[in-house]
Structure formats: C-alpha cells, structure tokens
Amino acid sequence: MMRSLRFAPLAALVLLAGCAAIGGPKTEVSIYSPQTRIQADPAWPAVDWQLTVGTPDTHALLDSQRIAVRPTPDRLQTYKGARWADTAPELVQLALVEAFEDSGKIQAVSRWGGGRGDFGLYTDLRAFETIYEGGTPKVVVEIQARLVQHRGNAGLVAARRFRTEVTPDGADIEPVVAAFGDALSQIGADIVGWSLVEGQKSLSEPAEESAGK
C-alpha cells in the first residue's frame, strides 16, 4: 500500500529580522519539509509488540534546521536562504515513526518520551546532506541503527548501518528537497523491514530453544 506520510511540503517564506531592530536588512528564508512515502512489503511480519523510536544522535551541523551540502569531500556548508521545518534528527525520527505506522505491520509505535515500548530503535544520523561529485549533486542519508529489547530477554537485538543515495533532478533547492524525501522513504522502508524481522526473530528464538529442550 502506497501512502503519503504526514510531511506536508511548506512553501512559506519567513523573514529573519536579526538586524531589523537596529535597521539592518531582513533576509528571506524558505522553509522546507520533505514528502515521504512507504510501500509495505507483504513479506514483512505482522507483530504484536510495541516500539519506541529515539531521536537520532548526530553532529552539531546536522542537529539544526540548516540544509547541509558538501561541495567538496572536505567542505561542509549549508544552503543559503533555506531551512528545514525541524532539525534533521527530528525529521528523521518522525519519518521513521510514520513509516512504521503506515506499514500496518506493528501494534504500536511512538517517539521517545511517549512511553516505553517492548523494543527501542536507537539511531545515529551519520549523513543527511547533498554531496557533489564531478559537479553532479546527490543526496545521501546514512543511519546507524540499533534495535534493543526492553522487556523479557533485554539487550541488543541487532545493529546495522543503512545508506541511501538519490540523484536529484537538478541542482536547485526544490529538486534537492524532493530527493531528500525519496531518500528518507527508501531508508525508512529498509529500517522498518529490518526491525520487524529482527524483533520478531528475537522473540521466537527463546521459544524455539525451550521447545527443543
């Protein structure tokens, strides 16, 4: 089932008046929120446990509303006059929560602080940026994920690094934002499927071991 998640594109312009009080110029900033979609895989298991999704950890530049771009491998900058609607970690966390909800395969999922589920998904946001290679931009999203069981046989269940690269239709900010939405959709689907399989496997293995005794 293909559904649009609740990320709405924002076309609003805001005025940053940092110097306005003393007569300085105002700067127009466009606010963006990427649209994401997930298509549930029929092979994913339907589970009856609950999941809590933590806010990703990341470095200082990504932990902001600035949209990161790497014009060269050793230079990290931000797009001028453009901002995310939330910080990058908050965008990723909400995208993951809604991906699990829209999969229709899990009993309940919530963000950290909204309750403690049977499992917790903890992530590090390693990349959320546009990278230029040979003059061509590509959007890169990389997430290190850890699935932890909170109840019963508590502890680390599985860990894996996920990475997605999407080439935008152009170098302007609008197609770049659309590519971020596609990248979030792809990596979100990968993480949802992996979490459901690994979580269900961790619950079935103790039962299988007991039955074999």
> Domain locations in the chain?
46-212
Q: What angle do CA 126, 1, 49 make, to 5 degrees?
A: 65
Instruction: Copy the structure tokens of residue 170.
Output: 């152009």
C-alpha to C-alpha distance for 62 and 48, rounded to whole angstroms = 34
Class of domain 46-212: alpha beta
162, amino acid identity = F
Three-state DSSP class for residue 128? strand
The per-residue pLDDT for 212 is 47
Answer with the residue of higher pLDDT: 166 or 10: 166
Tens digit of each residue's pLDDT (9 = 90 or more) over 137-154: 999 999 999 999 997 788
Sorted by sequence, the CB contacts under 8 Å of residue 98 that are 6+ apart come out as 5, 6, 7, 36, 38
Tens digit of each residue's pLDDT (9 = 90 or more) over 89-148: 999 999 999 999 999 999 999 987 655 789 999 999 999 999 999 999 999 999 999 999
pTM as predicted: 0.84
C-alpha to C-alpha distance for 62 and 54, rounded to whole angstroms = 16
The per-residue pLDDT for 22 is 41
Report yes or no: 168 and 193 within 8 Å, Cβ to Cβ: no
